[in-house]
Amino acid sequence: MDAHRKKRGRLDLIQNLAITLLTVSAVVLFAATQLPTLQESGGLHQWLSASPAAGDSAPTQEAAALSAPVRIAVSGTYGRYGSLTLTTADSDEFVLLATRLGEALGSARSFSPCDGEAFNDALSRLSIYYDFLEPLPLSVLAELMALPDMTAATASTCARQLVISAAGDGSVQLLLWDGGSTYLCCGTAITYGDLEDTVSRYEVGNAYFAFDYAESSEAFLQVFSRSLFLTPLPQLPVLTAANSLADTDSLLTKLGFNPYTNSRYMESSGTEVITEGDQTVRLLPEGILRYQGSSKSVLSIDAADEVPTLEEAVRGAGQLLNQLLAGRSGDAALYLQRVQQAGNTTVLRFGYQAGGVPIQFADGTCAAEVVLSGTCVSALTLCFRQYTAEGESSLLLPLKQAIAIAAQQPGKELFLAYTDSGGDTVSAAWLLE
């Protein structure tokens, strides 16, 4: 009898396990077949997405803060120190220079007009020169360098190049150029001793501007006077390049889309189209994401008021793009090229840079563009491109030959940059602009 009961008990246990497994299988099958409809209706989608969304952000690295490439020249009595490969995120190398610029901008009150000659003369004295490659409002530059807020009088002033320079009377001036025809200067609270102490920390002699040799060389005279060169030329690595638009479901989730929607189809061109309400995402086969929303889009940035400040717009757009790009850009990062605001519309354009050196697309397009209607993202374009530094260095044309070629187009700036033509590798080269 005992043996019979034990056998019967084992059979009951096996039957219960089988029933449980069949029940679980039925639930899984039901979810698999009904999930798209349920998610579109909103009920189950909210419950299911809450956990993945939290899990999605927890293990991934927090979106990196936006940084900017910056060319530097520190001028002393016997020469200059220069760098073409710094960014505002290089805390070890840039922190002191950022601090000095913050002191200059923070104490600047009233700018007066000056000219290019005065700017170049300032570079010939004890000075620190900053070139951010693109003209940006001073308030935005302060945001990118994590500096204190600017005064209202200077916040909206645009600058591409700035120089902190010792004046003849022992004071220290700040001069800026907006990348066009405007040159401005003003006094600062920086002392001559503070400037001298900063300059003394750099070993001068490896850098020079085109105007340094303009009197002795016709070729140097022909190029933009503040084209900056280093001796020896920097070793810039060759980059491998690849389309990194993969795992599109996670991207759609980050944009607030349901990746399992039935409103998802493929065009004959290979472009995938996903629609949800008044929002559309197009995923192009060449690795470009195009989002189209409206002034009432769910996708938005944080701001104190209905219309964001420029700093809020830059911060919000940068965070959004970096979240979308997380782990997909390799050794490159986005940097701000332009921000414009008219009424409640803000347009921001971004490029890629690797090691402080800009990467330009051969077709002249930008890496990303964000259009804001108030705080809502009404349009977004992002090129997913991954760049990885190889061991070999780019083969650069010797400067003497590059200058000779550049002299054929007087007034153009000669600089080093990467050009991406859509191939598997990208090398640095001399460019004119």
**pLDDT, tens only, 365-410:** 999 999 999 999 999 999 999 999 988 999 999 999 999 999 999 9
- H-run or E-run covering 294: none
**pLDDT, tens only, 257-299:** 999 998 999 999 999 999 998 899 999 999 999 999 977 778 9
Whole-angstrom distance, CA of residue 257 vs CA of residue 255 = 6
Predicted confidence band at 12 (pLDDT cuts at 50, 70, 90)?
A: low
Q: Which among 350, 336, 346, 341 has a CA at the least distance from the CA of 145?
A: 336
Q: Which among 52, 184, 181 has a CA at the least distance from the CA of 118?
A: 184
Predicted confidence band at 300 (pLDDT cuts at 50, 70, 90)?
A: very high
What DSSP state is assigned to residue 255? T
What 3-state class would DSSP assign to 134?
Answer: strand
Q: Residue 228: its pLDDT value, please? A: 98
Alpha helical stretches, state H, 58-186: 91-107, 116-123, 138-144, 152-155
Q: Residue 54: CB partners within 8 Å, gap ≥ 6?
A: none
Predicted confidence band at 20 (pLDDT cuts at 50, 70, 90)?
A: very low
Q: Which among 253, 360, 369, 275 has a CA at the least distance from the CA of 321?
A: 369
**DSSP per-residue letters across 173-197:** EEEEE-SSS-EEEEE-S--HHHHHH
C-alpha pair distances (Å), 378 with each of 104, 167, 337, 347 = 37, 48, 19, 10
Whole-angstrom distance, CA of residue 183 vs CA of residue 226 = 14
Q: Is the pLDDT of residue 45 over 70?
A: no
**pLDDT, tens only, 208-251:** 999 999 989 999 999 999 999 999 999 999 999 999 999 999 99
Strand partners, 76: 79
φ, ψ for residue 29 (rounded to 5)? -65, -40
Q: Which among 272, 303, 306 has a CA at the least distance from the CA of 286?
A: 272
Predicted confidence band at 153 (pLDDT cuts at 50, 70, 90)?
A: low
Whole-angstrom distance, CA of residue 251 vs CA of residue 265 = 16
What's the chain's average pLDDT? 87
**Percentage of the chain exceeding pLDDT 90:** 77
Q: Give the CA angle between residues 320, 321, 323 to the nearest 5°.
A: 65
Map out the domains of the chain as residue ranges: 69-205, 240-389
Predicted confidence band at 6 (pLDDT cuts at 50, 70, 90)?
A: very low
Predicted confidence band at 356 (pLDDT cuts at 50, 70, 90)?
A: very high
Answer with the residue of higher pLDDT: 29 or 148.
Answer: 148
Q: Could you tell me which CATH number the domain at 240-389 has?
A: 3.30.310.160
What's the distance, Cα to Cα, between the start and end of the chain in Å? 97
Q: Residue 298: its pLDDT value, please? A: 83
Q: Residue 279: its pLDDT value, please? A: 94
Whole-angstrom distance, CA of residue 110 vs CA of residue 115 = 16
Q: Which among 314, 319, 352 has a CA at the least distance from the CA of 333?
A: 352
Q: Residue 109: its pLDDT value, please? A: 79
Q: Residue 135: its pLDDT value, please? A: 97
Whole-angstrom distance, CA of residue 381 vs CA of residue 366 = 9
**pLDDT, tens only, 301-330:** 999 999 999 999 999 999 999 999 999 999
HSE (side-chain half, CA atoms, 13 Å) at 315: 14
Whole-angstrom distance, CA of residue 355 vs CA of residue 403 = 24
Segment 38-49 mean pLDDT? 28
Is 424 buried (19+), middle (13-18) or exposed (0-12) by CB count in 10 A? exposed
CB 232 within 8 A of CB 84: no
Whole-angstrom distance, CA of residue 388 vs CA of residue 390 = 6
Q: Is the pLDDT of residue 85 over 60?
A: yes
Residue type, 253: T
Q: Give the CA angle between residues 329, 233, 222 to the nearest 5°.
A: 105
Whole-angstrom distance, CA of residue 71 vs CA of residue 229 = 10
Answer with the residue of higher pLDDT: 207 or 66.
Answer: 207
CB 337 within 8 A of CB 134: yes
CB 394 within 8 A of CB 236: yes
Residue 56: both structure tokens together: 């999605």
